[in-house]
Amino acid sequence: MSNHPIYLDYHATTPVDERVLAAMLPYFTEKFGNPASINHVYGWEAEAAVKQTREILAAAINATPEEVVFTSGATEANNLAIKGVAEAYFQKGQHIITVATEHKAVLDPCEYLKTLGFEITILSVQKDGLIDLNQLEKACRSDTILVSVMAANNEIGVLQSLAEIGEICRDRNIIFHTDAAQAIGKIPLDVQAMKVDLMSLTAHKVYGPKGIGALYVRRRNPRVQLAPQQHGGGHERGMRSGTLYTPQIVGFGKAVEIALAEQATETERLTQLRQSLWLQLSQLEGIHLNGHPTQRLAGSLNISVEGVDGAALSLGLQPVMAVSSGSACSSAVTAPSHVLTALGHSEQLAYASVRVGIGRFNTAEEIDIVGKHAIATIQSLRKQKTLV
């Protein structure tokens, strides 16, 4: 048994599944060729492996293999989507719409574009974390070139209504991008039914390796143009130059393949574990569930706790469980989560928050241990506060 705390931060990253690692290993040693080397068997082997993963990812989202562009992860995919559209459609318009609860990999590129003269509309969210579709409709203009709304929130697990958003964008000839880093393999995704034009994906949230992601780029109805952000060789239909990392790509494909095969049963299991933990924690007063109660990822539970200090809460939980706090550190400056403050929480309540990400290797026994420890920690901290 490991002396490490119980891992409950599966939204931050996941361990590589042993089945994924086994699929990857030959491509480090035996099948090490460059997929762009088309004159010998080493290149052919690598090219075939890359092609297979394109097919797996395309099938997972109802796209075609040619529409899958490999990147180093979802951050690069988001940057390529947002900056690529901005540069390619600059003459059509300079207005972009996104949401206050987006990942920084979306918000920061938008902030950068503001310095170049683009106008960015950042939609607020309702108390449950969902956007108001009427507000989105009102925000759309004749010069709006892109709407970027994430599929599943990385902090509160809320699932946005992609099909309805896609319909709004398609009716107005606006390109629709979604960051689906947290969603791939966990919920059904269909770029045709949802009318998604650009979709960012990553492997390490779904038991695949870090350092590999992809961007779906629609080729028809409508054909989306992107200005490349990385030049040098014209790889990936000219959108993302650089030698493809075959072992990582193979791992990505295997991870998604496994996730899709197990999606239904795993969703049910994780939902039961999440509900079990929430049932324990909700016995205490002053515990707030962040995000929509049902329209959320199966393994996602984010709570805010009244009457405790955020740092003390994090410290008290650490010996037993590995979770993320409600704050984010950037450049050595601690700030409350922008997602939780967007829900309307005070700074104190945002600080005293815990993000629990339940995953493939968690058990019911672990959840029971975690629940009991969390309750004891909160009760102890509240008692200490009343004694001061």
Per-residue model confidence as pLDDT tens digits over 96-133 = 999 999 999 999 999 999 999 999 999 999 999 999 99
pLDDT of residue 330: 41
Closest CA to 84 of 246, 220, 236: 236
pLDDT of residue 329: 41
Structural domains in the chain?
6-12+263-387 (3.90.1150.10), 18-257 (3.40.640.10)
Fill in the amino acid letter for 10. Y
* pTM across the whole model: 0.95
pLDDT of residue 388: 47
Tokens 């082997």 appear where?
A: 45
pLDDT of residue 387: 60
pLDDT of residue 236: 84
pLDDT of residue 332: 44
138 burial (CB, 10 Å; 0-12 / 13-18 / 19+) is exposed
Say if CB 146 and CB 177 are below 8 A apart. yes
The DSSP H or E segment spanning 289 is: strand 287-289
Residue 346 vs residues 82, 123, 191: alpha-carbon distances, Å: 31, 19, 37
293 burial (CB, 10 Å; 0-12 / 13-18 / 19+) is exposed
Residues (pLDDT < 70) of the chain are 1-2, 326-334, 386-388
Phi and psi, residue 12, nearest 5°: -80, -50
Question: Which residues carry out catalysis?
Answer: 329
For residue 385, the tally of other CB atoms under 10 A from its CB is 12
Say if CB 161 and CB 176 are below 8 A apart. no
Phi and psi, residue 159, nearest 5°: -100, 115
How far is Cα 52 from Cα 70, in angstroms, rounded to an integer?
13
pLDDT of residue 326: 53
